[in-house]
Amino acid sequence: MTERAADGERCDAKRAAGDRAEPAARGEPVRIGLLGRGTVGAAFHDLVLERADAIEATSGRRPEIVGVLRRSDGDFEGILDRADIVVELIGGTDPARDYVLRALRAGRHVVTANKQLIAQFGDELFAAARDAGSQLRFEAAVAGVVPVIRVIQESLAATEITKVFGIVNGTTNFILSEMASTGSTYADALARAQELGYAEADPSDDVGGADAAAKMAILARLAFGAPVALADVAYQGITEIQPEDISYAKELGLSLKLLGVAERRDGGISVRVFPCFLYSHHPLAPVEGPFNAVMVEAPTITEITMSGPGAGGIETASAVLGDVVSIVSGRASVSAAHQRFEMVRDISSAFYLHLEVADRPGVLANIADVLGRNEVSVRSVVQRGMGNDARLVMVMHEGPESRFFAALEEIATLEFLRAQPRAIRVIEEEFV
Ligand SMILES: NC(=O)c1ccc[n+]([C@@H]2O[C@H](COP(=O)([O-])OP(=O)(O)OC[C@H]3O[C@@H](n4cnc5c(N)ncnc54)[C@H](OP(=O)(O)O)[C@@H]3O)[C@@H](O)[C@H]2O)c1
């Protein structure tokens, strides 16, 4: 596009934004253009019909769907012309990004459930919304119906949040819960999740950690006011987890979760997703099945925990409609990302370490020597099996990850090791 055309487009956007009926008078319907009528879109469509009377009674404006766009049906320009609010439930980034940008630039408010869109193109979309004076709302993009975005943006707007963390992917939480309760393999637990509709036919984004990483990028941006992008998030999934890791850990009083953690550390920010063991008294330890739970920490609030269903058509639709009602009720959304920040990579963690070793004297002493030289201290050790089945399961105290990984690299070369070592992080924090 030429500079001139781009300028022309901005002028059109300003004109269109100016044309938009400013907080329309009570009694006027709020006209919704719906992009996508799949699992969430269809549930949203039904929910609007079902809740229209109640929303009109409380907000003074009746929601009406004035157009629906599907792959083979509908006309985006026509919908844009008729709508006050555009609800994007297509998913993915193409063509969703283009439609959302065009809607914002035309002065429409936008509600979306699309985490990839916000995580990858947040800067561009928030800037477009700011320039046009429109709202961009996305409560359903993180933790489904759990109102974590609204709590961070509104209730905690005056709080300096130090850490946001939790279980933000229901598929992996279901799989890990299933492995723990039945002793099944990862593959069997995944098949069960697919059978029950908790995992998609192609589950790679969920089980590989990318879905949780996108959600954590969004939470970090909101919590710290910093333009955290998906590329800033280090992530790891659950595909390598073995049933025996879970059962050994149970003996040590630990349960396994895929955690997303965004925190201020050493003057910077760290945002990561990783499988992790929690002690049983941790507030996230009892969160089972496809549920999500997010904790927020700050000196002024100590900590709060929110939990609930992380997905599902009707649950997600309910969060989307909540955003529509917020817009109708005139509540502004704030998504400024103004802080400069540095990503901190080497942070402190505790680890679980699983080693398959030869059954002979001196093995434990040898491993203890490597750990000691790297200043990694051991919290507990369980020795299991004999002969070709001998294993050592250890839990370390928290320390710099770089030291632990240096020790791990050395341990992996020891000649008495019968398989690659497996390491999983452990959250040691004490909760009362
Ligand atoms: N499902 C959940 O539980 C859940 C939970 C939280 C967030 N979300 C998010 O909600 C959004 C929607 O998810 P979903 O599960 O409802 O997806 P879905 O069932 O696959 O539905 C997608 C809809 O978008 C339409 N669509 C796809 N490509 C299009 C294109 N190029 N042009 C116009 N329309 C197009 C499809 O049209 P056709 O009908 O013609 O195929 C379909 O109606 C995603 O961002 C997802 O991440 C979903």
Neighbouring-strand partners of residue 356: 391
Q: Which whole-number Å values give the CA distances from 29 to 26, 88, 201, in the listed order? A: 8, 19, 39
Span from the CA of 16 to the centroid of ligand 1 (angstroms): 27
pLDDT digits (tens, 9 = 90+) for 45-81: 999 999 999 999 999 999 999 999 999 999 999 999 9
pLDDT digits (tens, 9 = 90+) for 82-95: 999 999 999 999 99
Name the band, by pLDDT with cuts 50, 70 and 90, for residue 336.
low
Q: Which segments of 251-347 are extended strands (E)? A: 254-265, 268-279, 291-298, 302-309
Which is higher by pLDDT, 8 or 344? 344
Q: Is the pLDDT of residue 23 over 60?
A: no
Identify residue 146 by its one-letter amino acid code: V
Contact 421, 353 (CB under 8 A): yes
Structure tokens at 319: 């969060």
List the one residue out of 416, 411, 410 whose CA is nearest residue 358.
Answer: 416
Q: Is the pLDDT of residue 24 over 90?
A: no
Residue with the nearest Cα to atom 41 of ligand 1?
A: 71
Q: Is the pLDDT of residue 8 over 50?
A: no
Does the Cβ of 292 fall within 6 Å of ligand 1?
no
Contact 351, 378 (CB under 8 A): no
Residue with tokens 């500079």: 3
Task: Classify strands 234-235 and 348-356 as parallel, antiparallel or unpaired.
Answer: unpaired
Contact 146, 294 (CB under 8 A): yes
Q: Is the pLDDT of residue 177 over 60?
A: yes
Which is higher by pLDDT, 246 or 296? 296
Classify residue 311 by burial, with Cβ atoms within 10 Å: 0-12, 13-18, 19+.
buried
Structure tokens at 19: 């044309």
337 three-class SS? coil
Contact 255, 278 (CB under 8 A): yes
Q: Which of 35, 90, 110, 314 to mutate to test the pocket of ligand 1 (most atoms within 8 A of CB)?
A: 90
List the one residue out of 144, 168, 165, 148 whose CA is nearest residue 156.
Answer: 148
pLDDT digits (tens, 9 = 90+) for 144-173: 889 999 999 999 999 999 999 999 999 999
What value does the mean pLDDT of the chain take?
90
Residue with the nearest Cα to atom 12 of ligand 1?
A: 89
pLDDT digits (tens, 9 = 90+) for 318-328: 999 999 999 99
